Chain A
């Protein structure tokens, strides 16, 4: 963009590196703590290099049933993301590309539902789930997550579908494809980058959700964020820094690998949303 003096350039690069380090530090610190013994954590000055231990990952994980909870989180995140993608992408397509009365109103309503605070939904969800005997089950949490994922998918995919040339499905339909055929055979394959990045956002959002899970689960279906909130509440006793950091690392690691692997899609999805919206 703006070309500047060599000094200004160096300062900007230095600033960028500094900002990145500052923002990364808490994550690095968490990784460090997760491999330390309590005696090396609770000490002043901090010990940067100390004896390595895997205790935080092994003994505590068993006791707090971290792995089953990880599996719960994966099931809930994948389930809610898939349902939301199907429903949201179809709705987003209808709202951008199809003739219908009331499309503007429908789009407005679905987008406005993005602003509904989850706290306005949790009381009935809890009461109804309790009455139907559906608390602590995957399906309840999955359906709860759909409330914030579907509007989100509609929103992102609308921007994406709008950027596709109209001739695509017109050609398909002149060749005798139905709307459904055109959508699933032509539009969906052409929208893969958008669908992938949107799906990843959905998984990340579901992966880290706390409020619904806190209220709708208590034992079998407990997700990792709920477990972490429990451990964090215990930190007052002082002892659980290591385990908290270890669980934190395990939650962040898959998402970071995932996000970096598909970084190109991820950033492109956002860029398109921002500029072509």
Chain B
């Protein structure tokens, strides 16, 4: 969960500071400022340098060395050997593919569902506030708990979902046991857990829509579909883009739900890349290849995130 201000934030970051020159007196007042600003930034920089930057460099170092399990330290420099092995590891490639499939299906699904429900929840009536509050609840269920509960719900033998489907003559369905359905289950659980977040962001965006535009559309005789298509959606594009970026930032970290619900199985059907690397490193003790894989994932994530930020900023400026 988080708020939404990705796109424009970097563009405007220097704006307010620079634009505040003001009259002379004010400027003199701020003479010592750049130094003070760094003092304000120091705690964050120290923490992030020590706990984020240093580990990243360390990971790259381990990925380029021959890790010695007996001393638990990176040993000789081996260049790109680990990377060669990793790129030819079918398990790793499979886990990348699984992660890609999950992202490509789950994120659009959650956005569409989230905005649709937000529109339903926007209709003014007495119970609206209560429903909105109740909709927050799945958002605060820990992902690992979500995985656990849904594993029970989807149990082929004792699960309520199969029981309900049985009543209408479907099933029994092997939700977790079948490779395709295990992916469906994973996406289902993730969607359950995260759609309420999209609903929350979408509701905020919908409430902020200017009402005069709608009056104009109505007086021009626009149908409801036309209004949605030509007024509402274009106005919401920045919110949609921002919600997508935030969901993306969360979804690339997918680990807990997969671990609790499917453990990556059956076979490798739901073995998302974070789970695969975790197993390699901390069960197989292959820290060298785990670090290479983590570096590859880091680079892919950063590149895609960069383009998403750019795209989202472009969309925000265009509309």
Contacts and interface: CB of A to CB of B under 8 A. Distances in A.
A99 B37 contact: yes
A115 to B, nearest CB: 4
A101 B48 contact: no
Interface string A193-216: 000000001001101101100110
A67 interface: no
A145 to B, nearest CB: 9
Nearest to B148: A232
B295 A120 contact: yes
A115 B44 contact: no
A180 B306 CA distance: 34
B178 interface: no
Contact of B54 (A30, A95, A124, A228): A124
A229 B47 contact: no
Nearest to B17: A99
A114 B248 CA distance: 11
A46 B196 contact: no
Given A1-B206, A103-B17, A204-B140, A19 B117 contact: yes
A217 B71 CA distance: 20
A253 B44 CA distance: 32
Given A4-B224, A23-B135, A104 B207 contact: no
Grouping DSSP codes into helix (H, G, I), strand (E, B) and loop, the A interface class, with mixed when no group exceeds half, is helix
Interface in A147-173: 147, 150-152, 154-156, 158-159, 162, 166, 170, 173
Interface stretch (B82-90, B102-110, B151-159, B179-187): B151-159
Given A1-B122, A277-B9, A162 B151 contact: no
B268 interface: no
Nearest to A253: B140
B20 A99 contact: yes
B94 interface: no
Given A121-B52, A173-B29, A263 B133 contact: yes
Contacts of A252: 137, 140-142, 145
B13 A225 contact: no
B233 interface: no
Nearest to A208: B142
Q: What size tier do the contact residues of chain B reach? A: 35 or more
B44 A150 contact: yes
B149 A29 contact: yes
Contacts of B305: 112, 115
B230 interface: no
Given A17-B127, A112-B305, A166-B20, A274 B33 contact: no
A110 B47 CA distance: 11
Nearest to B53: A113
Contact of A46 (B16, B59, B72, B163): B163
Nearest to A88: B44
A208 B196 CA distance: 17
Interface of A: 1-2, 4, 9, 12-13, 15-17, 19-20, 23-24, 26-27, 29-30, 33, 41-46, 83, 86-88, 90-91, 93-101, 103-104, 106-108, 110-128, 130-131, 143-144, 146-147, 150-152, 154-156, 158-159, 162, 166, 170, 173-174, 179-180, 183, 201, 204-205, 207-208, 210-211, 214-215, 224-225, 228-229, 231-233, 235, 241, 244-245, 247-248, 251-252, 255-256, 259-260, 263, 266-267, 269-277
| Closest 3 pairs (CB-CB, A-B) | A277-B5, A273-B3, A208-B142
11 contacts: A16-B121, A100-B38, A112-B306, A114-B249, A119-B274, A120-B56, A124-B58, A204-B1, A267-B204, A271-B204, A272-B3
